[in-house]
Amino acid sequence: MHLSLSQVSAAHPAARRGAAPALRGITLSLRPGEQAALIGPSGAGKTTLLQVAAAALRPASGRVDLDGIDPWTLPVRALQRLRGRLLLAPQVPPLPPRQRVITSVLAARLPAMGFWTSLRSLFYPVDIPGAHAALERFDLAEKLFERVDRLSGGERQRVGLARALLAPANLWLVDEPLSALDPRRAEQAIDALVDEARARGATLLASLHQVDVALARFTRVIGLRDGALFFDLPAAEVTAERLRQLYAQHEDELRAPAAQDTSAPGPKPVVMHCR
Ligand SMILES: Nc1ncnc2c1ncn2[C@@H]1O[C@H](COP(=O)(O)OP(=O)(O)OP(=O)(O)O)[C@@H](O)[C@H]1O
């Protein structure tokens, strides 16, 4: 799916009156199948941007285009159908606690199912092998019939990502998919997402606090700061200096190993982690 934002400004729905907007004049576009990482300090507006791109939050001004359509001009049913073609994966997936993992994962297919099929699938899962294969990508196949409330935070996050693989979507908007994962699982999870999106030709925009992962796994990196676009560059052009400026006054979120030569340009010598 082609995603385009033009001069988009937006406020958080719960923001105080007069508060600074969460997004200010954002213009960017992703071609169908393109992948980009979204980075920036806490509160920069990454989640808000993903919500606006997913037509989940209406911008205060500016225009959103999804395959050339402004979602906010559509009638309700058409807007729902359009939302069924994209996936917004929140940082903490809203999984019903007493549900089995398989049901949660297969819920990704609900928008494409009829009412009776979706009701039946609650009791007789429709695609056990598909759910198993998706969970296997995240090392979770053995939890297929486990209850969600018996999973750790990181396991729940991986269930949410496995769900993404089953969604019939061609725009994936993924919010901090690695926040609860250890480094090995994080690597495995980002590889699964990036590879699967590429194999399907799905457009992928992922917000990340792991700057090193963003630079290593994505060819395009978008930096957001105070609700505005700070840079939108090929990963190879994101220098240590640019990162320092992006995270200025938020250095606690950006840590470089002491022995590192952070003055050298290019992403290769910079190993940085946020939080
Ligand atoms: N629950 C909330 N109530 C009111 N305003 C909020 C709320 N959440 C976010 N905001 C506002 O929206 C701005 C952008 O927040 P957003 O969550 O999009 O940032 P973020 O870059 O995703 O942050 P983080 O990395 O911490 O998740 C915040 O600076 C704040 O002003």
| Alpha-carbon span 99 to 156, nearest angstrom | 12
Name the pairing type of β-strands 228-234 and 220-225: antiparallel
Q: Is 14 exposed, middle or buried (0-12, 13-18, 19+ CB in 10 A)?
A: exposed
Q: Does residue 12 have its Cβ closer than 6 Å to ligand 1? A: yes
Q: Please say if the pLDDT value at position 14 is more than 70.
A: yes
Q: Whose CA is nearest to atom 17 of ligand 1?
A: 47
* Number of Cβ atoms within 10 Å of the Cβ of 54: 25
Q: Does residue 18 have its Cβ closer than 6 Å to ligand 1? A: no
Average pLDDT over residues 174-178: 92
Question: Percent of the chain scored above 70 by pLDDT?
Answer: 85
Q: Does residue 53 have its Cβ closer than 6 Å to ligand 1? A: no
> 123 CA distance to ligand 1 centroid (A)?
38
> 272 CA distance to ligand 1 centroid (A)?
22
* Candidate from 24, 48, 49, 254 with most ligand 1 atoms within 8 A of CB, to mutate: 48
| Alpha-carbon span 275 to 272, nearest angstrom | 10
Summarize pLDDT for 48-87 with one digit per residue, the tens. Answer: 999 999 999 999 999 999 999 999 999 999 998 899 889 9
DSSP conformational letter for 123: H
Q: Domains (ranges, CATH) in the chain?
A: 1-85+170-275 (3.40.50.300), 94-168 (no CATH)
CA distances from 27 to 22, 23, 156, 232, 275 (A): 14, 11, 33, 10, 28
* Candidate from 12, 92, 179, 273 with most ligand 1 atoms within 8 A of CB, to mutate: 12
Q: Whose CA is nearest to atom 28 of ligand 1?
A: 43
* Number of Cβ atoms within 10 Å of the Cβ of 264: 12
CA distances from 231 to 91, 179, 224 (A): 23, 23, 7
Summarize pLDDT for 108-128 with one digit per residue, the tens. Answer: 776 665 655 666 666 666 778
Q: Whose CA is nearest to atom 2 of ligand 1?
A: 14
Residue 70 · residue 155 · CB < 8 Å = no
User: Which residue type is seen at 173?
Assistant: L
DSSP conformational letter for 109: G
- Residue 56: the pLDDT is 94
* Number of Cβ atoms within 10 Å of the Cβ of 71: 20
